[in-house]
Structure 1
């Protein structure tokens, strides 16, 4: 990739667009903005190239949770609602960002999520507005229809490894009164079925693979890895340049048109705060000059929480049995290497369900991820016994937290407070969700596979006990959003075109702009946001 922005001896270069962060959104922007050849684009990524073998093997996400070379490895502050536990927050630090280390599920959320965004004053973000961008991105294995696209950059595929436990879970859910649903991203989300994944032929399709690779030969696109943005530089209220450190050298990239911050729900507000855009008192306390007092930057953080039930399995067919057995483990590896099939193609959820914990609700408020294996914590060793698990995730939590820099040092991890289980609605949804999940796990279809419930176990029955279990075991589903959220109110950070309010030449394009969490996994919506943003940026350039 060459640079058609001139480089001078003092390490200053100039481009039309400078994108900070080569993650789920940044790779999309880099592809779309450089496509017509008219604009020079620089894409900066703090992490390395995506050469780690485990990035490309679907089940490899388990190996990347604690892999510092490709992961920011953040922690929350002690969470009051979770008995003061700190919750580990892995985020991608590599080309492809979190799409290179995530659980690969393709879930868009509900039609109602986007209509709610629109009703809150975010014109142009209703379901009918965003559907064309989901379709534009998509290369749906099942072909195009009213809800899906074919021929787009992002492969969306059916599960290759349809194991008997995951199929039995779907049948059990229907026996428990939840309708079967062949497509969570179609006419309606409610029901039980198989998840689809962002894979092709048994390999992960991160945005680095799907969007960046096809653009690599373009002379007007330059990609720099190991390039950590230190701060944005302003000329008055206009964002003029990005200062970044690469291999010990401080460099500056000037933007003729715009700077696009796509560093995710943690690093985007961190960069804005480090640059003087954020809550004035916070910035002053760290000796940072205030460019714009923007109290909403880092506010309104949301994340999905999950609570897992672990079942002892009566047959040696779980992933625990495969990976804990030396011969079966080698066989699984050989099968994957030769055919790209078998258990190594499993995502972080094979089948699942969406349902309402209360019939008065307009749409499902809980998502179930079913897994044919079990572990104490994702990324840690699988249990030594035969077991499978299913987790409850409340999809629309009310609890909100915050992200704040701890110092003016760009290398210092930010202070993350999520406030899980802070509201009565959130606590009730988790407890009711666990009760419904237990009904599914006790249904006839799963009977041949179940010895007993290992965790929380038969002694945990009352609502109080179930809530205590949520506090003891609740963990993130890795979906932080809303720290630079879109809106018209005084705490909104970006407008409907994702421009930072009060600043010229600067947009934020990633999960941080979501007004609130979508009802499902966040990777597909972030790719949609970047597709829509690309169109808006090119329109505004004309």
Structure 2
């Protein structure tokens, strides 16, 4: 294979770049209730304290504020005014920013896969590829949610953040290829989770402007909510009287200057602290507050509030594997728009990029499969070192224009079945915990990956997709181009005998849908109340056993709204029966 093809591969790894510009007249919410934590009082009191202004925390706090005084604490800054968040053209720029103030905090799992967690108001909805799709009816039933209220909550979210994408030629070819190979029926555009092939929603509007969970704060009662940015919660405070169950009654947080603040719940039996800090942050904060495996907490000299061995367990990340397809013709720029929902446990999705000739800056640096954001599939996970990333970036900077023409078709495992755990590294809430996902430790996940990639191969070879592939490039060549390019100068595979099983293991990446750590039935009950303590709930993706839908953000936002309504309703009923 010629050098040009290797260059083509590396270009494509960062070439899913977005050129659409946002509407110049886009209205940015201006929240009078949003302040930097440096302005906060040393001590304050509220009906509800929500920890984490992310995908669940924003809709949750907005809903509760209709009737109650709410404090929303977010460890990051505002997404507004940051073009790397707002502009479709800049997708990946925030993910590649590894500075201490970045809206994205990089972490590397013990498996060696590079990942990211949000550190910004709006959470992951400020960083992701924008795909919007609901959970399946079966998922809703198994979660024990009220179907009518779920639908109303989704609609509440969708009025502000969800849109129908404009599906162009390359995405249309993938869609038609999915149908051609049997992922049927073609369900057209829908937010609903339906087996077959569909076009999903997007949180990018027609002007390429991102709408996030932070926008849902437009629903808030501005006189009853306070949002504090750059407010890092160090621990939850508990009160124990005469051997009674621990009761959460306050939090300790620090502002960006390191100054210490305390916020307490007002006196009252139904006031609560709600943790919405995400699948890494929520179990981490519970442990820092003394709720977790006793032996592990003792090792970090943390006073034990409740021995709860399930905190941090059940951590899962949906493994993603992709095949790069160079195109003989220009393709549109797209993120995830089309999805094939199979019956064998895999979702098929796609993203594409195009040649950017003569443009200023370096848009090639920031693609959905860019080494700069950690999506380095060309070496196995444990070899994705800073040196390997630097080498990939160096090669990328000397690419020909044609290298940015093509796209990826990916498969993501449903579930997954494999899971791991999370542990503290230190008592510093700013330091990432140690997390292990154990990708493909269950052979059924590996089997699903192989079936998913086999389906991707069929799509590439379909008549519908034929206009976007070179006829002289067989599937084994595409696999080796994706998996064995010499980033580390020592290719693991040099022939066309690379098995799909090995391809799955060597090229596994994240699609940022990790979950678990505070699962329902183990750490929280069906109302998301933390088992064994009072006045404390967890409402976010850490409670999930499986990632909902093909992409979880719609359901996480829905859950914030849903639980805000449910908590308010529970409280009203209790007040009426006093």
TM-score scaled by length of structure 1: 0.81
Q: Please state how far the C-alpha of 1:198 moved relative to its aligned partner.
A: 1.8
For the 8 Å contact 1:47–1:227, the answer to whether it is kept is: yes
For residues 139-196 of structure 1, the C-alpha deviation after alignment (integer angstroms, 9 at most, x for no partner) is 2xxxxxxxxxxxxxx3321113x3211111111222212221214533x522223221
CA distance in 2, matches of 1:469, 1:9: 52
The reply on whether 1:355 has 2:342 as its aligned counterpart is: yes
Matched pairs, number: 468
CA distance in 2, matches of 1:166, 1:10: 51
For the 8 Å contact 1:311–1:455, the answer to whether it is kept is: yes
For residues 223-253 of structure 1, the C-alpha deviation after alignment (integer angstroms, 9 at most, x for no partner) is 1101000000111101010100002100000
Q: Please state how far the C-alpha of 1:200 moved relative to its aligned partner.
A: 3.2
Structure 1 residues 353 and 59: alpha-carbon distance in aligned structure 2, compared to 1, 3 A threshold? farther
Q: Please state how far the C-alpha of 1:376 moved relative to its aligned partner.
A: 5.0
- Out of 314, 320, 332, the position equivalent to 2:328 is 314
Query: Which residue matches 2:390?
Result: none
Q: Please state how far the C-alpha of 1:517 moved relative to its aligned partner.
A: 2.5
- Out of 65, 70, 74, the position equivalent to 1:45 is 74
Q: 1:306-345 residue pairs with structure 2 within 5 A?
A: 306-319=320-333
The reply on whether 1:539 has 2:569 as its aligned counterpart is: yes
- Out of 244, 249, 260, the position equivalent to 2:253 is 244
- Out of 286, 289, 314, the position equivalent to 1:300 is 314
The reply on whether 1:57 has 2:87 as its aligned counterpart is: yes
Query: Which residue matches 1:413?
Result: 432
For the 8 Å contact 1:73–1:88, the answer to whether it is kept is: no
For the 8 Å contact 1:66–1:379, the answer to whether it is kept is: yes
Structure 1 residues 299 and 129: alpha-carbon distance in aligned structure 2, compared to 1, 3 A threshold? farther
Query: Which residue matches 2:406?
Result: 387
Unpaired segments ≥5 residues, structure 2: 1-31, 241-245, 354-366, 375-392, 482-493, 573-578
The reply on whether 1:506 has 2:515 as its aligned counterpart is: no
Q: 1:60-75 residue pairs with structure 2 within 5 A?
A: 60-67=90-97, 68=99, 69-75=101-107
- Out of 83, 88, 108, the position equivalent to 1:76 is 108
CA distance in 2, matches of 1:9, 1:125: 37
Please state whether the residue corresponding to 1:370 is helix, strand or coil: strand
- Out of 475, 478, 482, the position equivalent to 2:512 is 478
Which segment is superposed worse, 130-139 or 17-26? 130-139
For residues 488-513 of structure 1, the C-alpha deviation after alignment (integer angstroms, 9 at most, x for no partner) is xxxx1111111111111111111011
Please state whether the residue corresponding to 2:464 is helix, strand or coil: helix
For the 8 Å contact 2:161–2:212, the answer to whether it is kept is: no
Which segment is superposed worse, 308-317 or 66-75? 66-75
CA distance in 2, matches of 1:388, 1:8: 47
Q: 1:65-464 residue pairs with structure 2 within 5 A?
A: 65-67=95-97, 68=99, 69-79=101-111, 86-117=112-143, 124-125=144-145, 130-139=150-159, 154-160=160-166, 162-179=167-184, 180-183=186-189, 185-186=191-192, 189-202=194-207, 203-209=209-215, 211-215=216-220, 218-236=222-240, 237-246=246-255, 247-256=257-266, 257-319=271-333, 346=334, 348-357=335-344, 365-373=345-353, 375-377=369-371, 379=373, 384=400, 385=403, 386-451=405-470, 452=473, 453=475, 455-457=478-480
CA distance in 2, matches of 1:8, 1:197: 36
Q: Please state how far the C-alpha of 1:471 moved relative to its aligned partner.
A: 1.2
CA distance in 2, matches of 1:57, 1:158: 17
For the 8 Å contact 2:110–2:435, the answer to whether it is kept is: no
CA distance in 2, matches of 1:356, 1:266: 30
For residues 239-277 of structure 1, the C-alpha deviation after alignment (integer angstroms, 9 at most, x for no partner) is 010100002100000012111110000001000000000
For residues 189-221 of structure 1, the C-alpha deviation after alignment (integer angstroms, 9 at most, x for no partner) is 222232211233431110112x12453x71221
Query: Which residue matches 1:148?
Result: none
Q: Please state how far the C-alpha of 1:10 moved relative to its aligned partner.
A: 7.5
Unpaired segments ≥5 residues, structure 1: 80-85, 118-123, 140-153, 320-345, 358-364
Structure 1 residues 535 and 318: alpha-carbon distance in aligned structure 2, compared to 1, 3 A threshold? closer
Structure 1 residues 234 and 28: alpha-carbon distance in aligned structure 2, compared to 1, 3 A threshold? same
For the 8 Å contact 1:76–1:417, the answer to whether it is kept is: no
For the 8 Å contact 1:112–1:127, the answer to whether it is kept is: no
Structure 1 residues 517 and 417: alpha-carbon distance in aligned structure 2, compared to 1, 3 A threshold? same
Please state whether the residue corresponding to 1:241 is helix, strand or coil: strand
CA distance in 2, matches of 1:469, 1:127: 40
CA distance in 2, matches of 1:424, 1:218: 51
